[in-house]
Amino acid sequence: MSATDGRRFSFGLQSYSGLYLWATFIIVFGVWKPDLFLTSATLHSVAAAQAVSAMLALGLLIPLTAGVYDLSVGAVTNVSAVLVVTLQTVHGVSMGPAILAAIATSAAIGTASGFIVVKLKVNSFVATLGMATVVAAIQTIISGGTQPFPPSGSAWTSFTQQTVLGFQIIVLYMLILAFVVWWVLDHTPVGRYLYAIGGSSEAARLTGISVGRWTWLSLIASSTIAGTAGIFYASLSGPSLTFGQALLLPAFAAVFLGSTQLRPGRFNVWGTLLAVYVLATGVQGLQFVTGVQWLNDMFNGVALLAAVSFAVWRQGAKGRRRERATATDTQAEHPVDADVKQPVGS
């Protein structure tokens, strides 16, 4: 069988394995626990519950596209949720200005992270990890270390919980955000710049791309989206002092697992969303079957390790193929004649 035939009969496993896995989860848990799993309540619950995680993953996707890590997104999500609630309940600020203040604060945090990474040349992993600790301290100052109470007005809860076609409106917000990020990354020069920087920042710089500027903006975008996700979470589920950190691992797992789907080897929006809901479906089904609550962390941790390992293996395989291709081209251009005769008298 030729390589073409092998690809023809692979049924898209290389790019669409997540869809097959998702279908497997639905069939297995649907047969196992049909009264719990195959219900509209479960569908709507999973869709809404994962919307904030998906938003956080989409924000994280942007700097990762440029080869930059942002480990502060969980802390930014948390502080934004606490700030938007505290402004309303403690300081009497109306909902609109409170939301704008939380978004502005999140963007300012991203600006500070970008300054440290771009201007001070600190590794993004270290810089954003340190920023996460600083933001956690700021959150404690804002909240006083106590759990804030949510605003009492119906406008605050209906902001995310009113329904559209049976789904809470936060699912629509998530889809709109996904479309915008996809359009920017795949159909504008900004996306081309970010992917070029992620591929090789030095090569991107030599082609005239302002690496520092776009890296900085990617961190601002990531932090702003994380802060917006925190606002939605506070309206959907009520504020929490720790939920943001709990979302960080699932977000990374979704982005890296998503890079193996639809467009393998490339961080992409729809692969990320697919990964979010595949993981959520698996966790939900296992919880219905076992009732064990630690499965969420276990499932996401294993998924992250598997996705990163697969990405590293794929990158190494590509490198080996390029080396073999280069060696073959070199031999073709400079063949070695084994039958060259030695001159007489040698």
pLDDT digits 0-9 by tens, 154-205: 899 899 989 888 899 999 999 999 999 999 999 999 999 999 999 999 999 9
CATH of 11-316, one of 1.10.287, 1.10.3470, 1.10.510, 1.10.150: 1.10.3470
| pLDDT higher than 50, residue 56 | yes
- Quickly tell me which residue has 């040349």 as its tokens: 121
**Are 86 and 105 a contacting pair, CB within 8 Å?**
no
Please give the mean pLDDT across all residues of the chain: 85
How large is the average pLDDT for residues 78-90? 93
Lowest mean pLDDT among 39-53, 182-196, 315-329: 315-329
How large is the average pLDDT for residues 48-55? 93
How large is the average pLDDT for residues 262-291? 88
**Per-residue model confidence as pLDDT tens digits over 230-262:** 999 999 887 777 888 888 888 998 998 898 888
Q: What percent of the chain has pLDDT over 70?
A: 84
Contacts (Cβ under 8 Å, ≥6 apart) of 246: 74
Distance of CA 66 to the CA centre of its chain: 13
* Spatial distance between the Cα atoms of 61 and 15, rounded to a whole number of angstroms: 18
> Which residue ranges make up each domain of the chain?
11-316
| pLDDT higher than 60, residue 344 | no
The confidence score (pLDDT) of residue 341 equals: 47
Lowest mean pLDDT among 97-101, 108-112, 268-272, 332-336: 332-336
How large is the average pLDDT for residues 120-141? 94
Higher pLDDT, 47 or 345: 47
Q: Which residues pair with 163 in a beta bridge?
A: 168
* Spatial distance between the Cα atoms of 101 and 256, rounded to a whole number of angstroms: 31
Confidence of residue 78 (pLDDT cuts 50, 70, 90): very high
The confidence score (pLDDT) of residue 311 equals: 65
The confidence score (pLDDT) of residue 338 equals: 45
User: What is the SS3 assignment for the chain?
Assistant: CCHHHHHHCCCCHHHHHHHHHHHHHHHHHHHHCHHHHCCHHHHHHHHHHCHHHHHHHHHHHHHHHCCCCCCCHHHHHHHHHHHHHHHHHCCCCCHHHHHHHHHHHHHHHHHHHHHHHHHCCCCHHHHHHHHHHHHHHHHHHHHCCCCCCCCCCHHHHHHHHCEECCEEHHHHHHHHHHHHHHHHHHHCHHHHHHHHHHHCHHHHHHCCCCHHHHHHHHHHHHHHHHHHHHHHHHHHHCCCCCHHHHHHHHHHHHHHHHCCCCCCCCCCHHHHHHHHHHHHHHHHHHHHHHCCCCHHHHHHHHHHHHHHHHHHHHHHHHHHHHHHHHHHHHHHHCCCCCCCCCCCCC
Question: Residue 88 corresponds to which amino acid?
Answer: Q
* Spatial distance between the Cα atoms of 311 and 257, rounded to a whole number of angstroms: 9
Four-point Cα dihedral 55, 148, 94, 45, nearest 10: 40
Question: Residue 59 corresponds to which amino acid?
Answer: G
The confidence score (pLDDT) of residue 100 equals: 97
Highest averaged pLDDT of the listed ranges 23-27, 122-126, 162-166, 234-238 = 122-126
Question: Residue 336 corresponds to which amino acid?
Answer: V
* Spatial distance between the Cα atoms of 170 and 168, rounded to a whole number of angstroms: 5
Q: For residue 229, give both structure tokens.
A: 């996700």
The phi, psi pair for 236, rounded to 5°, reads -80, -45
The confidence score (pLDDT) of residue 315 equals: 61
The confidence score (pLDDT) of residue 330 equals: 59
Higher pLDDT, 312 or 85: 85
